[in-house]
Structure 1
Amino acid sequence: MKKMTPRDKIKHFGIKSLTNEELLAVIIQTGTKEKSVYEVADCLYEKLSRLSELNELTIEELIELEGISYAKASIILASIELGKRIRAEHTKKISIDNAYDLYQFIREDIEYEKQENLIVISINIKGEIIRKDRIYIGTLNMISLSIKEVFRPIIKLNAYAMMIAHNHPSGDPKPSVQDNEFTEKIIEASKLMNIRFIDHLIIGRNQFFSYKHLKTFKV
């Protein structure tokens, strides 16, 4: 009996019936003269110790793999990004007073970034997230970063409340002295502007630090 292709499985059993390798094969679409699309997908999957590591790969790292062209690497990354954006839309009505909910909302944006990123989240008076803005990428010097830059999207959107989050590429979310000083400045400025400050999360690998709770959470 002929083995069912991923497309046949989708048709008869739905997309959830596919294995991780088969999902990758559908995205990659074609193989090479030497390898089938399934072998290319298997090679990519074997490179990962866990599926979430796919989120860490750059386009340069993807095209180093046999059978992955620039076009295919672009499709893979676009698929990942689309999934992130869909998830972000579904999580807009999270509880802003729940540190874990906030972490889940923000983690995919910055958890695996290789440089430090700072994200500002604007919140309306109903407690709904209006928007999140990535305002800094690089080696984050919290002290030199302008307070005006942080509050610009908040003021522009006339937000009632705010929270900020940044990542530690090392994976350790323990706050530094600079992180503490920067957070104090943001809290002071928010009071002056009559903007409710919710929290500052530092995102590590499968863990995060919350200034509101002054503790590290393992996830």
Structure 2
Amino acid sequence: MAKLKIKDWAPAEQPRQKLLLKGAEALTDTELLAILINNGAPGKNVMELCRELLSHVHHDLSLLASLSVKDLQKLHIKGLGEAKAIALAAALELGIRRNMAASFRPRVKQSADIAHYLRARLEHRKKEAFAVVCLNNSNKILRFEIVSEGGVTGTVADPRVVLKKALEYDATSIILCHNHPSGNLRPSTADEMLTQKIKAAAACLDIRLLDHIIVSNEGYFSFADEGLLR
């Protein structure tokens, strides 16, 4: 017996119609992805394609969001070509930015004011990245920028690059941040040495280092909160 095409399903069961009738919150992850991807492949409808995609990431949307267009194509899922991978990556990036906007407070007074923003930006990455947040005299964010990216176990940040960014955006203070893909939030000895090196160099330029925040899917660690910036 031939399989029914999605357009032949009852309207209330078709993802697009279901969203119109019941709202996006009523749809499963598979149905939401099906709307984004739009169509399947010969012998495989879009719902089957999306179920296969979710199975590859163990139904973990955070893991899915960490995949680049090339990573998605390397899954070798029939019907998931470059165009669909690009559309999917764009939609997932919008989700990340939405989380950033929802958790972001324009003036930083304590680590919690920015930690969730930084987690939304970095915690999904599979490789370690080091970023600097530039702030003005009122502790409002001027710029967030990744200054180095490395492997799964580490990255090296050049203090000169960090301070160049601070000067470029006329920052009076900065916050350092990097992620730990392993989930472990404790800073390494190298993390502590680099932090002190950047703090000393920044002070020579009358730029304050307010904090260094490590993020992962387990939470965050604040050097300032733990008294490591004295």
Report the TM-score range of the alignment, normalised by the length of the smaller protein.
Answer: 0.7 to 0.9
The amino acid that maps onto 1:131 is R
One-letter identity of the residue aligned with 1:174: R
Letter of the 1:2 counterpart:
A
Give % identity: 29
Q: CA deviation at 1:8?
A: 1.3
CA 1:65/1:100 → structure 2, altered by over 3 Å: closer, same or farther?
Answer: farther
Cα distance in 2 for partners of 1:35, 1:114 equals: 30
| TM-score scaled by length of structure 2 | 0.82
**In terms of mean alpha carbon deviation, does 14-23 or 72-81 score higher?**
14-23
Q: Distance in 2 between matches of 1:25 and 1:46?
A: 14
- Point out where structure 2 has 5 or more consecutive residues left out of the alignment: 1-8
1:130 aligns with 2:106: no
- Determine the structure 2 residue equivalent to 1:88: 100
Letter in 1 for 2:63: E
CA distance in 2, matches of 1:141, 1:83: 26
Give the C-alpha shift of residue 25 in structure 1: 0.4
Partner-residue secondary structure (3-state), 1:173 = coil
**1:35 lines up with 2:39 in the alignment:** no
Contact residue 100 and residue 116 of structure 2 kept, 8 A: no
Q: 1:111–1:205: 8 Å Cα contact kept in structure 2?
A: yes
State the structure with more CA Rg: 2
CA deviation after TM superposition for structure 1 residue 141, in Å: 5.3
Q: TM-score, structure 1 length as denominator?
A: 0.86
Please give the secondary structure, in 2, of the residue aligned with 1:171. coil
Match of 1:78 among 66, 90, 106: 90
Aligned residue number for residue 206 of structure 1: 218
Query: 1:119-158, aligned counterparts within 5 Å?
Result: 119-139=131-151, 140=154, 142=156, 145-158=157-170
CA distance in structure 2 between the aligned counterparts of 1:88 and 1:153, rounded to whole angstroms:
21
Query: Whole-Å Cα distance in 2 between the matches of residues 141 and 40 of structure 1?
Result: 36
Question: Which 5+ residue runs of structure 1 have no aligned equivalent?
Answer: none
CA RMSD of aligned residues (A): 2.3
Q: How many residues align?
A: 213
* Contact residue 111 and residue 167 of structure 1 kept, 8 A: yes
Aligned equivalents of 2:72, 2:158: Cα separation in 1: 36
